[in-house]
Structure 1
Amino acid sequence: MSASRLLARSATALSLALLTQFAPAASAAPAAAPVAQDAANVANTAAVSYRTVKVDGVNIFYREAGPKNAPTLLLLHGFPTSSQMFRNLIPLLADKYHVIAPDYPGYGQSDMPSMSSYTYSFDNLAATIDKFTTAVGVNRYALYVQDYGAPVGYRLAAAHPERVTAIVVQNGNAYDEGLDNEFWQPIKAYWADKSEANAAKLRPLVALEATKWQYLEGARNPQRVSPDAWTVDQAYLDRPGNGAIQLELLHSYGTNPPHYPAWQAYFRKYQPPMLIAWGKNDKIFPPAGAHPYLRDLPKAELHLLDTGHFALEEDSAAIGALMRDFLGRHVKR
């Protein structure tokens, strides 16, 4: 179903529900009751709960929606955001799927333990999210990975291939070609030499101007991107000590490319169903990182969208429609 038809159907259901609620009982159309009930069910399942669970002493915040007996979608966010990046997508999926979106330690509403008490590395973020899935009773899921979510999610998938039912990739890298651009040059220099001089070149990445740039660069209509998104992200980045955490993770990102061959081998061996919905105007993860997936997963479905790094800001409806079609064909109860 296209995004426009999906939205039209939702609007029709809502209108009929309102007419049924306020019209006199004698004049209510008999056919409206099932549609109104359907609308009520969608509204109930799409309602998001905001929860916290403790993992190794760290409070992990997560958003949860949808029936718990439905197939689970695990949504993994990128930098510098949190599960708030999925705020528009979750209601589009929660009538059919059990949707869970956690915040990593140091992000969003999760705890931000000190660097002396928590190791901020991609290995450890993945270990925490792995334990998180156990804590919330999820042992099988489809993954949605974006930006930092890709190296976290691919660690989970490679370690537990039997748990992953499908993968949705949105501007998340697993190939060297995806890092061969100007944005990554100062970061690669920091991987090679963790000096103060190289760190100083990266500190602007956690400033408001850079956060706003990540949302607006490549957007086809910047006026449709809510300023609430980068304002919320920046509030978390500006917490005392968070800048040092972000630098540590930027350095740890250098541990991801050595894993690429193993992740690619996982793709080739297990052939997980994959939907690639990629903002083609992204200056951080350009389309050069999207196409190589097809080498290892020739049945993967690739869609290049006319938007930027945070594609959900402009195209949540389109991505939601693509996901409903894709998941409906590949993920069963």
Structure 2
Amino acid sequence: MSKDKTANAASAAATPFSHTSEAFASTQAVQDAADFIEIDQILTLRRMIVRAHAPKGTVLFLHGFPETLMVWKGIATTLARDYDVHAFDWPGYGQSSRPDLNRFSYAPKEYARVLKAYIERAGIDRSKLVIYATDIGALPVLLLALDEPTIARQIIVGDFAPFDRPQYMWENLQNLKAEPTASPTRAYMNKTSDEILQNVHRRGLSPAEQFDLRIDVQQDMIRSWSRDGVTSADAFAHYYANFTRDQHYLEANLDRLKTPMKVIWGEKDIYIAREMGIEFAGKIGVKLDVLPGTGHFPHLQNSKQTVEEIRTSFR
């Protein structure tokens, strides 16, 4: 894997020959498109860029907990026929930096700053950009959009907690929001990391609806759980330590949210109930698309649906 901290990743395109050769070329393109980009003196992000021959626009994917950029690999392969596709690991996840808490707060507002810096350093044309953000990736992009409504031509968000409504959240997530329950919950998540990585995407789904992760995605999440003395659960807990503050800020400033928006939600999301999505979509005046039989990870459970959401955004 090359490590280029300043330049764009090497471009790669999916060139249609036979279906078999196209799939091979696309998979190789994704592997070759991973590199590193420096955001500032303390943050370096692992990123993936897959480029189209004649891009109609750019897609930027923002992952959630406990994911890494590898969850977008298959979707990027498909979309790269028409669009340049970007994804990166948030600080504290994947192979990106994991600074000490004294140097980086891991707060949603801090992630918004990271997102802005990435878009600028990657040289992305905002007028042709669609951002797809899920889980912990959604609040940061909305916070950024408050100040910069032209950050993208459209933002797609879903399965996250824009407002401070603990009653719509899974119990462990409620517990992370404040002490005295936050620290024991963080410790429990670290202790049970194997179970989380194995089953987080299955919870709330019937046996017939449950699915397995691709082995490369699973392995990357396992390898990336703990690095430089910080686990993904640690980063998640630090995020939640500032979560309520940043939720309140978003809700108090919703009238400044002018970027075209789309909201989607898994019908069977047990982590963040769809009532949260209903309230958010209603307050910003957009339609909520509830995905039948789908849990908290629509992009993993039904990648074809995610691809179609993106294509529709460019029409």
Same fold (TM over 0.5): yes
TM-score where L is the length of structure 1: 0.75
Mean CA deviation greater in 293-302 or 100-109: 293-302
CA contact (8 A) 1:52 1:60 kept: yes
> Deviations 1:51-89 (Å, cap 9, x if unpaired)?
211111221111111238542222111111121121221
Q: Matched residue of 2:301: which SS?
A: helix
**RMSD of aligned C-alpha atoms?**
3.0
Runs (5+) with no aligned partner, structure 1: 1-12, 19-38
Runs (5+) with no aligned partner, structure 2: 1-15
CA contact (8 A) 1:46 1:93 kept: no
Q: Which residue of 2 aligns with 1:26?
A: none
Q: Which residue of 1 aligns with 2:224?
A: 236
Match for residue 320 of structure 1 among 290, 298, 307: 307
Amino acid at match of 2:77: P
Please list, as runs of the form range in 1=range in 2, the aligned pairs for 1:37-76 lying within 5 A after superposition: 47-48=29-30, 49-57=33-41, 58-67=43-52, 70-76=56-62
Match for residue 288 of structure 1 among 249, 255, 275: 275
Please list, as runs of the form range in 1=range in 2, the aligned pairs for 1:164-313 lying within 5 A after superposition: 164-176=152-164, 179-181=166-168, 183-184=170-171, 186-193=172-179, 195=180, 198-206=182-190, 207-219=193-205, 220-226=208-214, 228-239=216-227, 240-242=229-231, 243-262=233-252, 264-267=254-257, 270=258, 272-274=260-262, 276-300=263-287, 302-313=289-300
Q: Which residue of 2 aligns with 1:134?
A: 120
CA contact (8 A) 1:278 1:287 kept: yes
1:133–1:281 CA distance, 2 compared to 1 (3 A): same
Amino acid at match of 1:93: L
Structure whose alpha-carbon radius of gyration is higher: 1
1:17–1:245 CA distance, 2 compared to 1 (3 A): closer
TM-score where L is the length of structure 2: 0.79
Question: In 2, distance between residues paired with 1:144 and 1:16?
Answer: 27
1:230–1:283 CA distance, 2 compared to 1 (3 A): farther
The answer to which structure has the higher helix fraction is 1
Identity of aligned residues (%): 20
Q: CA deviation at 1:101?
A: 0.7
Matched, 1:96 2:78: no
1:289–1:116 CA distance, 2 compared to 1 (3 A): same
Mean CA deviation greater in 253-262 or 145-154: 253-262
Q: CA deviation at 1:145?
A: 0.8
